[in-house]
Chain A
Amino acid sequence: MHIAILLILAAVAAPAQDSLPLGKLPPGRVLLVAQPHHDDHTTDYGMGGLIARFVEHGFEGYYVRGSNDEKDGAHGYGRNDIINLKETWDAIRILGMKKVISLNWRNDFMNPIPLDELREQLIFVIRKYRPDAVLGHNPWEHYQKNPDHRNVARALVEACWLAGYETVHPEHFDLGLKPHSVPHYYGKGRLDWGLGQISNIAMELNESQERKKELAIAAHRNVYGSGGAARALSAELAKEGKYIPEFERAAGELEASDMITHWWMNWTSRQIGRKAGVKYAGSHNYTGGLYHLPGLREFVAQNAEPVR
């Protein structure tokens, strides 16, 4: 998502949820983030802050990039792919993750691909890394204009539970993998962008996590490092005889654009934090536990006991 779009969103964003409960980090040691694009884990309502929090609490983090990102950038397909993959690594290192696994499906051509094949690849990765928590898009997003987001999310939410079934892709077991179902899923949630993106929790971020979130998105220089955002904003303000004093102190348009990125990311975290009564937070649609078995929740709540 480009900065100019972020600025437009900033103008229209009208948080519709007054409050959000604070979620707790689940137990575990492995985090897997799967998104179609190089920057999806770091964008404004993305996952960067929560990823940093997981990692700071001892989780190993892995990023699965679904597409090859050939369309993102101004350098042509091949070079965009190479640069964006390199910058994905830069971003995940800032967040403390261990590895990028790129599935390399053709960027923005994911609507007609065989989704069972994409899902098989995600099931494979889940069985290999055995994540305790998975972060991804919310497959029920309304007004999701990019089918890559929706399709990867649909494949991912099914992969999270089907990976636990012995009857699903038994060929994996000949390679030494074992079934593994994912107990915790965090989908992107932002109610200002359609009712399907409803958030049900906020995850608090500390200063360090917030800072990493801001730095991680700025690492995607190929799409966010043109200086165009500062140029466009300055031009708009100049029509009203206004300017941003901080830009006068910046070394150039590039640094000024980076300022906008940091302000926007910081503003988003503060807005969500306000709903949860904390300084910084990210909002998510969390599903886990027995959400898929609503008929048994009450029975389990009344009868379950901790394992000794």
Chain B
Amino acid sequence: MRRRQFIHFAFARSSKVVLVVAADAEWLLYAGGAVAGMISSGAEAHLIRIGNDEKQSWDLQPEETALRNRRESEVAAKILGIRSVVSLGFRSSELRDVPHTTLRDRLMIHIRRLRPGVLFIPNPHTEHDRNLDRYYAGAAAEDAWHCARFANFLPAASDHGLEPHLVSEVYYYAPPVDPRRREPESTATFVPQPLQTDIGGAFARKLEAALALDTINRDRAMRLKQTLEASGQRLRVLDSVDGAVVRRIAEENVRGLARICAGGTSFAQAEEFRYAGIDFGIPREYR
């Protein structure tokens, strides 16, 4: 068994990064620091939102929720330095009944159009994540990564000039809830390996971007209050929830996640991935 890998900073060999997100704030919470680090190193990043985030609010109608979350995602992406945001508009929390190939082919078009060297996708292999949109989106994104290189996919798009494209590095991200998320797989060839990346240099920007997701942050704060009340507990800070409290809870969440992901390393703040890089496709002994 290989030991899990630590790298001091996420390093992209390519200058173009595409970040695929199912919904919610997950792209920022679980991958935002690494992407910000790559942008600081000169990479050009693009965000593809699959879901419309219409469910993620405390007291708004779905249409208003979707609109606000889209705008706030665009603001957060701009803070992080992301160049463009594509919103595919699928209804959030309902991805399970969208045909897999429908999702895959939409993503494949954007992969061929943007031609990234690095892809961030939700990890469909993670376990104990109760939001299964991430599973369906991740499975489609993984398939899109795989198929985008083959000329026999998307013939109409190929005819329009969208040539096959191979992405050489993939980061699978997930909330750190799977107790076995740091267990290495049997081989690095063809199987992404656990990776913890130092995001200390990009943490401030990640936090600033996360605080821009006001609708999602308010929803989280209110549901936290509700959950605690249901179990006979309270947080004094949540007695009266205003904008400052919402930001406080959001900040604690971002800091807490960074601490968890840094566990077992010398990093102060980190993010965790399953990483498919050069070892993934070409066995070390062949190079």
- At the interface with chain A, which of B11-19, B137-145, B233-241? B233-241
- A292: chain B residues at CB < 8 Å are 130-131, 175, 177
Chain A residues whose CB sits within 8 angstroms of the CB of B7 once the complex forms: none
Alpha-carbon distance A164/B253, docked complex (angstroms): 21
Q: How many residues of A are in contact with the other chain, CB < 8 A? A: 43
Does the CB pair B235–A294 fall under 8 Å?
no
Asked if residues A296 and B224 are in contact (CB atoms below 8 Å), the reply is: yes
Whether A293 contacts B65 by the Cβ 8 Å rule is no
Q: Is A165 an interface residue (CB 8 A)?
A: yes
Q: Is A162 an interface residue (CB 8 A)?
A: yes
- The interface residues of chain B lying within 8 Å CB-to-CB of A21 are none
Residues of B within 8 A of A195 (CB): 180
Q: CA separation between A139 and B178, bound complex, in Å?
A: 13
State whether B234 touches A296 (Cβ < 8 A): no
Q: Nearest Cβ in chain A — how far from B188, in angstroms?
A: 19
A303 near B236: Cβ-Cβ < 8 Å? yes
Known: A289-B231, A305-B234, A307-B233. A295 touches B256 (CB 8 A): yes
Q: Answer whether residue A56 sits at the interface, using C-beta atoms and an 8 A cutoff.
A: no
Q: Report A21 CB to chain B, min CB distance, Å.
A: 13
**A287: Cβ under 8 A from any B Cβ:** yes
CA–CA, A164 to B131, complex, Å? 14
* Nearest A residue (CB) for B91: A116
- Across the interface, which residues of B come within 8 angstroms of A119, CB to CB? 96
The distance from the CB of A133 to the nearest CB of chain B, in whole angstroms, is 12
Q: Does A75 contact B (CB under 8 A)?
A: no
List A contacts of B236 (CB < 8 A).
303, 305
Q: Which residues does chain B contribute within 8 Å of A289, judged by CB atoms?
A: 227, 231
**Residues of the A chain whose Cβ atoms lie less than 8 Å from the Cβ of B128:** 140, 285, 287, 291
Interface residue A115 (Cβ < 8 Å from any Cβ of B)? yes
Q: Roughly how many angstroms separate A303 CA and B233 CA in the complex, as a whole number?
A: 10
CA of A157 to CA of B29, assembled, Å? 22
Q: Are A183 and B257 in contact (CB under 8 A)?
A: no
Contact for B176 among A154, A158, A294, CB less than 8 A: A294
Please determine whether B130 and A167 come into contact, CB atoms closer than 8 angstroms: no
Given A116-B97, A198-B179, A298-B259, A307 contacting B252 (CB threshold 8 A): no
Residues 122 to 178 of chain A near chain B (Cβ within 8 Å): 139-140, 154, 157-158, 160-162, 164-168
Q: Most chain-B CB neighbours within 10 Å: which of A181, A195, A285, A300?
A: A300
Contact B223 A167 (CB under 8 A): no
Tell me the bound Cα distance from A294 to B253 in angstroms.
Answer: 8
Residues in A193-229 with C-beta less than 8 Å from chain B: 195-196, 198, 200
For residue B232, which residues in chain A have a CB less than 8 angstroms away from its CB? 27, 306-307
Determine if A300 and B235 form an interchain contact, defined as CB atoms under 8 angstroms apart: yes
Closest residue to B232 on the A side, CB-wise? A307
- Contact between A115 and B96, CB atoms less than 8 A apart: yes
Query: Counting CB contacts under 8 A, is B158 at the interface?
Result: no
With A167-B65, A287-B130, A298-B259: A293-B253 Cβ-Cβ less than 8 Å:
yes
In angstroms, how far is the closest chain B Cβ from the Cβ of A116? 5
The reply to whether B55 and A168 contact each other, CB–CB distance below 8 Å, is yes
A304-B55 contact, Cβ under 8 Å, with A287-B128, A294-B256, A294-B257: no
Interface hits, A273-308 → B, CB 8 Å: 285, 287, 289-300, 303-307
B93 close to A (CB within 8 Å): yes
26 A–B contacts, CB within 8 A, in A order:
A27-B231, A119-B96, A140-B128, A154-B132, A157-B130, A162-B55, A167-B55, A167-B57, A167-B60, A168-B93, A285-B128, A287-B130, A289-B231, A290-B224, A292-B130, A294-B176, A295-B253, A296-B224, A297-B256, A300-B228, A303-B236, A305-B233, A305-B236, A306-B233, A307-B232, A307-B234
